[in-house]
Copies of this chain bind each other. A is one copy, B any other.
Amino acid sequence: MNATQKQCIEECLECLKACNYCFDSCLNESDLNSLKGCIKLTRECAEICEYAVSAMTRNSAFMNQICQLCAEICEACAKECRKHAEHHEHCKKCAEACERCAEVCRSMIA
């Protein structure tokens, strides 16, 4: 396993943690209506990160395609969370984790 792959596994794990924490935190906010997209996308992003971690750690022949998809979903989630980053620390942290994860996923397929 090369250094990029190791780093990609770690960033996917960080992203999965940030997304699930953000998902749960959003459900406890008072401005719930504005966080619908965030709730949907943090679950979406947590699921692809989980799947990507599984694929990379078992040395899947499809890890590049999976990382490509993971990058796209991370970018969509980051974009949504960024909108709420000023008001919610969990959204800010999640956006940052998604952006880092997307970047490393992109370097996997470069």
Contact = CB atoms under 8 A, between A and B. Distances in A.
Q: How would you classify the secondary structure of chain A's contact residues: helix, strand, loop or mixed? A: helix
A48 B24 CA distance: 17
How many copies of this chain does the complex contain? Answer: 4
A55 B66 contact: no
Contact of A65 (B9, B16, B33, B69): B69
A58 B76 CA distance: 17
A72 B62 contact: yes
B69 A66 contact: yes
Interface of A: 9, 13, 16-17, 20-21, 23-24, 27-28, 32-33, 36, 39-40, 43-44, 46-48, 50-51, 53-55, 57-62, 65-66, 69, 72-73, 76
